Amino acid sequence: MPKDCHSKLAQYHPVFIEGMGNYDERDPVVVADHLVGQLTKHWAKKPPVKPRIIVIQGDPVAATGISAITPLVANYFGITRCLVCLDDHLADYHSENADRNNVDIELRYSQMVQQVSNTRADILSRIEASVDNQLALKNAQRERQGKSQLADYFRQFALLQEVSKAACMDLCKGITVIHTAADISEFSVTSFYTVGLALNLISANDMVNFGSIGSNDSVD
């Protein structure tokens, strides 16, 4: 990770908001307001020791879903955002299409890999093995249900999600994670959050319970 980005991000407490993309039909204002309330309660009990920054992962501008929700949460708390994208050789469209509004720090997946590898040489291989194992289990279940296999991009975006959290936890010595819904679909990229928990890369104490704002609050 470049020295300037490394030193700048290290000064923050990263906040990860994970959930559905623009196929989320819920009102983003309602969801964002709920997240603000849950985060406020969490931080009242466990206040960050550093300024907060919301980490986003390349979603393009959209009227609904995660891309619409995270700016609203950032605006409420008056904080900036950190963009982490896949390197161009992995997905050349990812950085090009990313929302950069209110982004103060921009990094690439390879820089997050470097951060975790500098501390624990085996950690990337362990994350990759765990993601691959989860993919195999999910695809086996989908086959039993007569469904098609998950798209190839699931692996890379699951790695982006979990490596970024691990890198930020290592660099910043603390993160906050919240989902945009209470129920996580087992066939979503979001569902790979269990990888970081199982490998003790993040703590359950750093995850904020979504609660409920109605009957339609599942992540597909």
pLDDT, position 214: 56
**What is the Cα–Cα distance from 169 to 176, expressed in whole angstroms?**
9
Ranges 36-40, 80-84, 91-95: which has the least confidence: 91-95
Least confident of 78-82, 85-89, 132-136, 210-214: 210-214
- Under the banding of pLDDT at 50, 70 and 90, the label for residue 22 is confident
Residue type, position 94, single letter: H
Burial 48-70 (b: 16+ CB within 10 A, else e): beeebbbbbbbbeebebbbbbbb
- Determine the pLDDT at residue 215: 40
pLDDT at 2: 52
CB 18 within 8 A of CB 66: yes
Per-residue confidence (pLDDT) for residue 217, from 0 to 100: 43
The mean pLDDT of 57-73, rounded to a whole number, is: 93
Site of tokens 């993919």: 135
Tell me the average pLDDT of the chain.
92
* CA–CA dist 161, 131 (Å, integer): 11
Q: Write out the two tokens for 179.
A: 């989902």
pTM equals: 0.92
